[in-house]
Amino acid sequence: VLGLRDVLDEIDLLKPEWERKRAVPAIETLYDEIWVYGTRQMYDPLEGMGLDPSVREKMVFTGYLPRPLPELEPHEHWPEITNEPYILVTTGGGGDGEGLIDWVLTAYETQTSLPLPALLVLGPFMATERQVEFQERAALLDNVDVIVFHNRMEQLLSRARAVVCMGGYNTFCEVLTFDKPALIVPRMVPRREQFLRTERAAALGLVRMLIDPMEQSGHPRDPAVLASELDALMDQPLPSSVMEDSLLSGFEIVARQVAAWLDDRDGDEAPPPAAHPRALAGGE
For 30, other C-beta atoms within 10 Å of its C-beta total 8
Which pairing describes strands 59-61 and 87-90: parallel, antiparallel, or unpaired?
A: unpaired
Which pairing describes strands 144-147 and 118-121: parallel, antiparallel, or unpaired?
A: parallel
Confidence category of residue 37, pLDDT binned at 50, 70, 90: very high
Render pLDDT for 171-195 as a digit per residue (tens, 0 to 9).
Answer: 999 999 999 999 999 999 889 999 9
- pLDDT score for 161: 99
DSSP secondary structure letter of residue 217:
T
Confidence category of residue 284, pLDDT binned at 50, 70, 90: very low
Cα separation, 46 vs 82, in Å, equals 41
pLDDT of 279 > 80? The answer is no
- pLDDT score for 28: 93
Cα separation, 95 vs 270, in Å, equals 44
Render pLDDT for 96-131 as a digit per residue (tens, 0 to 9).
Answer: 999 999 999 999 999 988 999 999 999 999 999 999
Select the more confidently predicted residue: 188 or 217. 188
Render pLDDT for 123-139 as a digit per residue (tens, 0 to 9).
Answer: 999 999 999 999 999 99
pLDDT of 278 > 90? The answer is no
177 Cβ contact partners less than 8 Å away, ≥ 6 residues apart: 66, 67, 248
- pLDDT score for 77: 87
Cα separation, 196 vs 202, in Å, equals 10
- pLDDT score for 269: 53
Render pLDDT for 229-276 as a digit per residue (tens, 0 to 9).
Answer: 999 999 999 999 999 989 999 999 999 999 998 987 776 555 544 433
Render pLDDT for 57-95 as a digit per residue (tens, 0 to 9).
Answer: 999 999 999 999 988 877 888 999 999 999 999 999 999
Domains in the chain, please, with CATH?
Answer: 2-63+249-280 (no CATH), 80-241 (3.40.50.2000)
Q: Which amino acid, one-letter code, is at 274?
A: A
Cα separation, 120 vs 101, in Å, equals 7
Q: What's the whole-number average pLDDT of the chain?
A: 92
Q: What is the 3-state secondary structure (H, E, C) of 3-69?
A: EEECCCCCHHHHHHHHHHHCHHHHHHHHCCCEEEECCCCCCCCCCCCCCCHHHHHCEEECCCCCCCC
Render pLDDT for 6-23 as a digit per residue (tens, 0 to 9).
Answer: 999 999 999 999 999 999
Select the more confidently predicted residue: 137 or 279. 137
Q: 38, 283 in Cβ contact below 8 A? A: yes
Percent of the chain, pLDDT > 90?
85
Q: Which amino acid, one-letter code, is at 35?
A: W
Q: Which helix (H) or strand (E) holds 209?
A: strand 208-209
- pLDDT score for 135: 98
Answer whether 0.75 is exceeded by the pTM: yes
- pLDDT score for 259: 95
- pLDDT score for 216: 85
